[in-house]
Amino acid sequence: MDAVDQRVFNQFQKMIEATMATGETCADSIANAAEKIASALLAGNRVFTCGEHSSSLVAQLLTDYLSQGYEIDRPGFPSLNLNQIAQQSAAAERYNQALKTQAVSGDILVLFSSGDNSSLMLGALNTALDRGMSIILVSTESDNSLINLVSYNDVHINIGSAPSPLITQSQIQIVQCLCALIDSHIFGGE
């Protein structure tokens, strides 16, 4: 095996290890989050998503899977991505404004953070709490400011600490697992 092949192998090995660690440490939290989202959707509520930096792509992926389907052909679920709603706004309060005009009590806010305790994310989380929304936070262990705002009734999926690309990969796998579980809760199956 030459040096380039070894680097490719090492990269895949790191991804596999990150996947296993996420599965081992986050299974209960992912299951709880899926049940909470499924219950909210069955009650007629909506799911809002947001993230900063590469996590914004993960938030959009969850919105797409919920609204267009994941593994099965099904009607779409009401899901809105705050990054898309507020992309034209440069204001520090852009997520807050969207939540204040769109969200109601019982809706869910799913935040994806990569460990930077973003003031935009903190603002969105506080606004969601003020609106009576449930929170699902997918974050690293260094997101102390966000983690401290999550209550007992909310769900925190702590993916630990890892290099940024592995955090994004773990978040994507969490989204895929969530969507499979949500479909199973609502439509039955495996």
Blockwise average pLDDT, block size 10, the chain, 190 residues: 83 84 89 97 96 91 94 91 76 78 94 86 92 95 91 92 84 95 86
CB 163 within 8 A of CB 50: no
What are the structural domains, with CATH classification, of the chain? 3-187 (3.40.50.10490)
**How many Å apart are CA 69 and CA 77, to the nearest integer?**
8
Question: What are φ and ψ of residue 135, in 5° steps?
Answer: -115, 135
Quick: pLDDT tens for 52-103: 888 999 999 999 999 998 888 889 999 999 988 776 665 657 788 888 888 9
Residue 157 pLDDT: 96
In what side-by-side order are the strands of the sheet with 134-139? Answer: 79-81, 47-51, 108-112, 134-139, 155-158
